[in-house]
Chains A and B, each alone.
Chain A
């Protein structure tokens, strides 16, 4: 039997720095609820239903909607910064 040495065909780069979750702080009386529409079919409608339910439970508040250019496109840095500055709670993650 003969031995052979091979290069492992894997990603050996150090994993990217993790992103810490935002601190879970108490919401203000009338929170701004941010929605990120990822442009999948019916994503906006589903998110808006969810936002209305949350508004009812939280006693009001403003809803801010951001639409990505398409499902295959990430949010632009400007969209992300704007949402971070305005919203107290952001909902996203809708798939097909």
Chain B
């Protein structure tokens, strides 16, 4: 049930800081009127309906709670359908929010928006898309983190055991810049219709910027990326994780012009990021014996850094420059958590009635 608090307007920020309700930055006060305006952007049957739950914790987030945190983060109502889709994806069992939000590894929740709504609400897919300066990018990602902190208890001292965390835990959200044909945007690669907009969420370590400015050969560029993907200091290297690979415009153009398909890029990165046990040992990494991550070399004598080609989440974004891309490894091997995608329901399209337990997806037992 909704609980309200009446206080002097000048005391709002300090009250929210004192109660630990912010991420360390000021927030927009979530007045009932602002929350109502946010909720009006989705066609909800009931504002108290749970968007999803974490069964192991008996905790979930209601539509109203999502709206409260979208207001606090600074979202406009036009962003709210994207925020809701992000929560729907986050509560998919494959994302494993139970662990991904609380591990010592300190994962950020990357939020990738692909499709026309990203452009309609003014998201940034170009220069500085992973940095500052765009309200939609920053506040959508921030809304997700604020809500899991306040409602699910994912904060230091409670359930978030991050040893360091990373700056993406404040907000890590960007829009995909549709790639040149014949490449297709991420949502179409995932099987959605061209007119759809999707939100993909993925628990990730901090983002790495990838420089490749002199080599115009696509294979050479991709080899540079694969080298980053098998860095021994990344937890999932050799253990079968996932990779969020964000190709900048120059690198995308070289690949497209030289006839690389997206499937071929994913397959190449998966294969070339495999690493031998000796390479890991040389970097001081011990090989798990009888551990949960299957660190038994394949026929090529190597271990997988990403589980399969489909575990390379390939998006295109960024602005023209000298030749930059970006990469974020999954925070853990895919037996622990995987990227998850949901379609954004535009304003006016009814949200599903998932019943009192929310839209629970049965726990996925397969670990491949």
Write out the residue numbers on chain B whose beta carbons fall within 8 Å of the beta carbon of A71: 99, 292, 336
Q: Point out the residues of chain B lying under 8 angstroms from A5, CB to CB.
A: 4-6, 31-32
Q: Which of B89-125 contact A (CB under 8 A)?
A: 96, 98-100, 103-104
Contact call B3/A10, Cβ cutoff below 8 A: yes
A51-67 near B? 1/0 per residue, CB < 8 Å: 00000000000000000
B29 lies within 8 A of chain A by Cβ: yes
Distance of A47 from chain B, by nearest CB (Å)? 14
B292→A8 contact, CB < 8 A: no
Majority secondary structure, A binding face: loop
Report how many residues on chain B are interfacial, defined by Cβ distance under 8 Å.
51
A7 CB within 8 Å of chain B: yes
- B291, CB-defined interface residue at 8 Å: yes
Chain A residues, CB < 8 A from B365? 69, 76
B93 to A: closest C-beta gap in Å: 10
A11 and B336 CA atoms in complex are apart in Å by 26
Which residue in B3, B288, B337 is a CB contact (below 8 Å) of A72? Answer: B337
A residues near B21, Cβ cutoff 8 Å: 9-10
Write out the residue numbers on chain A whose beta carbons fall within 8 Å of the beta carbon of B132. Answer: none
A72 touches B332 (CB 8 A): yes
Check B29 against A4 for contact (C-beta < 8 Å): yes
CB of A72 within 8 A of CB of B336, answer yes
Selecting from B146-154, B217-225, B273-281, B297-305, the interface stretch reads: B146-154
Contact present for B152 and A9 (CB under 8 Å):
no
User: Are A6 and B1 neighbours in the complex by a CB distance under 8 Å?
Assistant: no
Interface contact B7-A73, CB-CB below 8 Å: no
Is A7 in contact with B6, judged by CB distance below 8 angstroms?
Answer: no
State which residues 324-352 of B face A: CB under 8 Å.
332-333, 335-337
Contact A10 B4 (CB under 8 A): no
**Which residues of chain A come closer than 8 Å to B100, judged between CB atoms?**
72
The 8 Å CB contact of A4, one of B12, B152, B333, is B12
Within 8 Å of chain A (Cβ to Cβ): is B233? no
| Residue B167 is within 8 A (CB to CB) of chain A in the complex | no
- Indicate the member of B5, B10, B367 with the most A CB atoms within 10 Å: B5
- Of B64-72, B178-186, B249-257, B264-272, which stretch is located at the interface? B64-72
Tell whether, in the assembled complex, residue A2 and residue B9 are in contact, meaning their CB atoms are under 8 Å apart. Answer: yes
Taking CB atoms, residues of chain B closer than 8 Å to A41 are: 288, 291
**Residue A96 at the chain B interface, CB threshold 8 Å:** yes
- Write out, one digit per residue, whether chain B residues 127-167 have a CB within 8 A of any chain A CB (1) or not (0): 00000000000000000001100111100000000000000
6 A-B residue pairings within 8 Å (CB atoms): A1-B9, A1-B10, A6-B29, A9-B150, A41-B288, A69-B292
Given contacts A11-B152, A70-B336, 6 further A-B pairs with CB under 8 A are A4-B6, A5-B4, A9-B21, A69-B335, A73-B99, A74-B98
Q: Identify the B interface with A (CB < 8 A).
A: 1-10, 12, 16, 21, 29-32, 35, 56, 58-60, 64-65, 68-69, 72, 96, 98-100, 103-104, 146-147, 150-153, 288, 291-293, 332-333, 335-337, 363, 365, 367
